[in-house]
Chains A and B, each alone.
Chain A
Amino acid sequence: MNFNVNEKGYYGNFGGAYIPEMLHPNVEELRNHYLEIIHDPAFQAEFQDLLRDYVGRPTPLYLAKRLSEKYNTTIYLKREDLNHTGAHKINNTIGQILVAKRLNKHRIIAETGAGQHGVATATACALMGLECIVYMGEVDMERQKPNVERMRMLGATVVPARSGSKTLKDATNEAIRDWINNPVDTHYIIGSVVGPHPYPDMVARFQSVISEEVKKQLKAKTGSELPTHVIACVGGGSNAAGAFYHFLDHKEVRLIAAEAAGLGVTSGYSAATTVLGKPGIIHGSKTLLMQTEDGQIVEPHSISAGLDYPGIGPIHAHLFETGRAEFMAITDKEAFQSAVLLSRLEGIIPALESAHAISALDHLDLKKEDVVVLNLSGRGDKDLQTYINRKSEFMND
């Protein structure tokens, strides 16, 4: 079984580039050059230097002793929350900004939900002196104000997306429309393993540094580079793609993807795409997505703005369809409680997205001898207001 993208841009039945002709030249340019650019030694030298000295990599692989005791197993946290800007998102934005420079693009656009990818893009643009425009749903701008101000402080222009439900899906639509209107000088930095080929593959490659480091670190700590389980949350799925990447062909490693169930998968307020979705086209890619019988895309719900997306990356649709990864739907309440648990047991306040991955521990029948790697994709500073506001609702029993 092959889990990598084929030359046509497909992962099994999913992927491809379902784009209007207006986007074709840009996507084609990227497709023709991204591998050559990424494999260029000069690119790799610059990328690796920045990951080390600017982003702060490698991030630690931390043995979480008290969390391990609670689950009577061995749990390592991959500390992506310790990256500059507070999440894994910057691995991709640094990689893509270097690609954009080599394609002579001087204007950068991005979409953002919670604002983490927007901040990581604004940061990379400030670093390289490039113009940055970030599209963000008007609703998200309101609920993630500190990240809006961070982007502005970094010199980015934040444009409210006022169409549709005014959240991540609509911000992505607006970014794509911007690219249609500015096809020559602009590069679109997509924040997840979504969009037309080659984006899912390119983003997965930039995020694959996560599992590359895990292998080395685990080998040094345990003598084996393979854990029994790798757990990550999935919205679009970039941190999961990166955490799974170098384990995909090691069948003995169980890959666990935590999706957002919202209020519950049958509640009508959910973002559990593998449970509720069907194959279709979203943002230029064939994948699983939540939609009506008539093929209209459905608004998802999650307490976490970063998982509040009606699709998943095509690689994850393929991992789901082939059974290579196991998907679990975690409710808002479970995630919230796991965030508190990790804070109290390990002194680490996780992002709400990452808290979904922690909750997966409750659904696995873990053994003493198991070695679990849990990708802690981001820190919880951005969610503090939610943690304060909804404590009584979720922590009263």
Chain B
Amino acid sequence: METQPIVSNRLTSLFSTGKKNILNVYFTAGFPALDDTLRILRSLEKSGVDLVEIGIPFSDPLADGPTIQESNMVALGQGMTLKLLLEQLREIRKEISLPILLMGYLNPVMQYGVEEFCDQLGSIGIDGLILPDLPLDEYKAFYKNAFERNHLSNVFLVTPQTSEARIREIDQESTGFIYVVSTDSTTGNAKDISGAAPYFERIRAMQLQHPALIGFNVKDHSSFSFACQYAQGAIVGSAFIRMLQASKNLESDIETFVRSLRTGQ
């Protein structure tokens, strides 16, 4: 019998420390400017975020609200592609030690070749890949090996409508964290997450094997702190993109944004 390969990377190390109030920041590759990817990563690391998700731009981001849609269109318009993103990230581990995940829709990755893509991410030192429209069954049947041999964590989403049995199955297959979608919502919606406490408590009471991070509509200190009461941390995306969009000085604005999320000041 084949032994189960263990996924071990910067992300799993982070969670193994038992750290609380984990801040995960999402941004779109190639936005606001085509070559801002590294600049933003440097600032995020300096500002003390715990991990980052880099969004792979797609022409038709179904699960995203207007803010991330717009950042995708801008990035694509500036010439961002999957190949270019890999080039930008090629030397990343010479200077950045943060756990890094890529997140995107399946089609661009499928055109590149899912296995080949996983191998590339492994060689660069990326720690995980989130493909929300990759079906769980398909992952298990075709891609699990490619993720595991490259020590890539996979991350699946659960929502307020996901059944307990399915959450258990997802937990079983996860090798990173459980992405707890805060509300029935696309990203960057105005829905308030404070009504989601019973759902967050239900997830917590399930005592899953993997840590949970709460994302979607986490946008400021108040929603971040609220989410952190129920999970190991939270993910901020659209609010960060909106800040980048308006920023005149990326470095100082990122520092201010992260401080404000953490402390409310």
Contacts and interface: CB of A to CB of B under 8 A. Distances in A.
For chain B, the bracket of interface size reads: 35 or more
A20 B63 contact: yes
A177 B107 contact: no
B81 interface: yes
A25 B163 contact: yes
Given A173-B62, A281-B107, A294 B162 contact: no
A295 B60 contact: no
B111 A295 contact: yes
A253 B109 CA distance: 39
Contacts of B59: 164, 296-297
A109 to B, nearest CB: 14
B264 interface: no
B113 to A, nearest CB: 11
Residue from A25, A176, A184, A278 whose CB has the most chain B CB atoms within 10 Å: A25
B135 A16 contact: yes
B166 A182 contact: no
Contacts, number: 103
Contacts of A16: 135, 138
A16 B58 CA distance: 20
A263 to B, nearest CB: 22
B186 A280 contact: no
B161 A183 contact: yes
Contacts of B73: 164
Contact of B60 (A180, A184, A294, A297): A297
A169 B111 CA distance: 20
Contacts of A26: 161
Given A281-B133, A295-B110, A297-B60, A177 B65 contact: yes
Contact of A21 (B107, B110, B111, B157): B157
A335 to B, nearest CB: 27
Nearest to B82: A294
Given A173-B60, A282-B107, A20 B132 contact: yes
Given A25-B163, A180-B63, A18 B111 contact: no
Contacts of A130: none
B31 interface: no
Contact of A18 (B106, B156, B184): B106
B187 to A, nearest CB: 10
A293 B82 CA distance: 10
A290 to B, nearest CB: 11
Given A20-B132, A21-B162, A281 B62 contact: no
Contact of B181 (A21, A282, A294, A297): A21
Nearest to B216: A22
Contacts of A291: 107, 111
A259 B254 CA distance: 50
B110 A176 contact: no
A322 interface: no
B159 A22 contact: yes
Interface string A175-195: 011001111100000000000
Contacts of A17: 135
Given A21-B162, A24-B166, A295-B82, A280 B60 contact: no
B108 A180 contact: no
Nearest to A8: B137
B134 interface: yes
A17 B189 CA distance: 25
Q: Tell which of A163, A180, A284, A294 has the most Cβ of chain B within 10 Å.
A: A294
A306 to B, nearest CB: 20
A284 B132 CA distance: 11
A295 B181 CA distance: 26
A64 interface: no
Contacts of A181: 184-186, 189
A294 B83 contact: yes
A340 interface: no
Most buried by A among B106, B135, B166: B135
A176 B185 CA distance: 11
A361 interface: no
Nearest to B61: A173
B60 A19 contact: no
B76 interface: yes
Interface in B154-172: 156-159, 161-163, 166
Contacts of A180: 62-63, 184-186
Contacts of A293: 111
Contacts of B161: 22, 24-26, 183-184
Given A17-B135, A18-B134, A22-B181, A176 B62 contact: yes
Interface in A301-354: none
Contacts of A295: 58, 82, 107-112
Nearest to A162: B66
B168 to A, nearest CB: 14
A18 B112 contact: no
B69 interface: yes
A297 B62 contact: no
B190 to A, nearest CB: 11
Q: Which of A20, A173, A180 has the most CB of B within 10 A?
A: A20
Q: Which of A22, A26, A297 has the most CB of B within 10 A?
A: A22
Contacts of A183: 159, 161, 184
A355 B98 CA distance: 58
A163 B112 CA distance: 25
Nearest to B70: A163
B162 to A, nearest CB: 6
Given A164-B73, A181-B189, A183-B159, 5 more contacts: A182-B184, A184-B184, A284-B133, A294-B82, A295-B82
Interface of B: 58-60, 62-63, 65-66, 69, 73, 76, 81-83, 105-112, 132-135, 138, 156-159, 161-163, 166, 181, 184-186, 189
7 contacts: A25-B159, A180-B62, A282-B107, A284-B62, A284-B133, A295-B108, A296-B59
Q: Nearest 4 pairs between A and B by C-beta? A: A295-B108, A295-B111, A21-B157, A20-B132
